[in-house]
């Protein structure tokens, strides 16, 4: 498993991370198998969020790590906060549906995550989705307090466009190192826009404000979430009869490199020079092993484009 540099720093982590959003449905023994499989295959980065089943995923991971043969020092652990959507289901958060980047909520989000994860610190904390009511001064005060106390070592954002990123960065003392964005073979808007520059077709529409180019210039690590999904959690494109040409190409390349389709889909993301990190969401140990193998596959430029075409894309 190759390592990548996170942001413009000396922090290096595995190019593939394990997202634990779906860990809430596992018992602790199965969760142990998941995290030990991930680590065995070179994955040393864990991604979570306080909203994942209202903290249940955090709790299962915390228990599993305690029961496993691994320790806190074996992993970098990242959490996200700012989304409130519980409709009174939990006493841990105020009721309602909103985004909340107040100093109070940010600090409470981190402290709640630390308790559930059974750890003293987070390696990174991300603002989960942009809050149009955010006050940068509140974010700055929260980040300063969390950094000074040693509870958070690095900071970033998730699903932010360039101007939102710059707005937050302009008012805080820490360097934002990460932007977590949806990206996969079947979710390529940030690439399509650049390829279709000076055209008038749908591919030329910028939905994200040139976030890919902005991130490359600023040395921001893009963490690609839902790497095997199409649409917005509509399902996986792997072995999906809706995408026969794509799956045929993934199999062809998988046979060439002696890996599975998940590995090729992962390698396709890692091929991009933006130096992205792939976040796996699967809780299936076999799929984790297969996907992790993509960290050692280097596609040719032509193979990368062939996969892009098989997904239904074109060149102007």
CB atoms within 10 A of CB 73: 7
Q: For residue 93, what pLDDT is reported?
A: 52
- Is 260 inside a domain boundary? yes
- Is 315 inside a domain boundary? no
CATH of the domain at 132: 3.20.20.100
Q: For residue 253, what pLDDT is reported?
A: 98
Q: For residue 87, what pLDDT is reported?
A: 54
Cα–Cα distance between 305 and 233 in angstroms, integer? 24
209 vs 253 pLDDT, higher one? 253
Residue with tokens 């300063």: 144
- Is 288 inside a domain boundary? yes
The mean per-residue pLDDT over the stretch 14-42 comes to: 97
Residue 50 has pLDDT above 60, yes or no: yes
The mean per-residue pLDDT over the stretch 62-84 comes to: 96
Residues 6+ apart with CB under 8 A from 119: 62, 72, 77
Q: For residue 107, what pLDDT is reported?
A: 96
Cα–Cα distance between 182 and 149 in angstroms, integer? 32
Give percent of the chain above pLDDT 90: 86
- Is 240 inside a domain boundary? yes
Cα–Cα distance between 117 and 130 in angstroms, integer? 25
- Is 58 inside a domain boundary? yes
Crossing angle of helices 103-117 and 136-148, rounded to 10°:
40
| Structural domains counted in the chain | 1
pLDDT band at 120 (very low <50, low <70, confident <90, very high): very high
Residue 234 has pLDDT above 90, yes or no: no
Name the helix (H) or strand (E) containing 97.
strand 97-99
- Is 316 inside a domain boundary? no
Residues 6+ apart with CB under 8 A from 256: none
Active site residues: 52
Q: Are 48 and 57 in contact (CB under 8 A)?
A: yes
- Is 94 inside a domain boundary? yes
Least confident of 34-43, 72-81, 125-134, 225-234: 225-234
Domain that holds residue 95: 3-310
- Is 263 inside a domain boundary? yes
């Amino acid at each position: 498993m190759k390592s990548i540099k996170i942001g413009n720093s000396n922090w290096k982590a595995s190019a593939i991370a394990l997202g634990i959003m779906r860990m809430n449905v596992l018992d602790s023994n199965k969760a142990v198998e998941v995290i030990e499989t991930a680590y065995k295959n070179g994955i040393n980065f864990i991604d979570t969020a306080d909203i994942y089943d209202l903290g249940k995923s955090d709790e299962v991971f915390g228990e599993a790590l305690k029961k496993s043969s691994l320790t806190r020092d074996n992993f970098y652990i990242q959490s996200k906060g700012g989304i409130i959507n519980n409709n009174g289901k939990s006493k841990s958060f105020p009721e309602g549906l909103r985004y909340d980047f107040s100093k109070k909520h940010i600090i409470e989000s981190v402290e709640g995550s630390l308790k559930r994860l059974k750890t003293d610190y987070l390696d990174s904390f991300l603002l989960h989705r942009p809050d149009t009511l955010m006050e940068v001064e509140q974010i700055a005060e929260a980040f300063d307090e969390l950094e000074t106390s040693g509870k958070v070592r690095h900071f970033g954002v998730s699903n932010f466009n360039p101007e939102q990123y710059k707005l937050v960065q302009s008012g805080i003392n820490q360097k934002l190192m990460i932007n977590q964005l949806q990206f996969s073979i079947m979710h390529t808007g940030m690439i399509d826009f650049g390829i279709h520059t000076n055209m008038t077709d749908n591919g030329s529409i910028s939905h994200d404000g040139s976030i890919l180019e902005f991130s490359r210039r600023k040395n921001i690590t893009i963490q690609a979430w839902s790497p095997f999904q199409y649409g917005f959690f509509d399902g996986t494109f792997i072995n999906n009869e809706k995408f026969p040409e794509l799956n045929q190409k993934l199999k062809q390349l998988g046979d060439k490199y002696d890996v599975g389709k998940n590995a090729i889909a992962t390698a396709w993301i890692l091929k991009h020079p933006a130096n992205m990190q792939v976040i796996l969401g699967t809780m299936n140990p076999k799929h984790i092993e297969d996907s992790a193998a993509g960290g050692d596959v280097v596609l040719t430029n032509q193979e990368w484009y062939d996969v892009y075409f098989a997904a239904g894309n074109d060149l102007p």
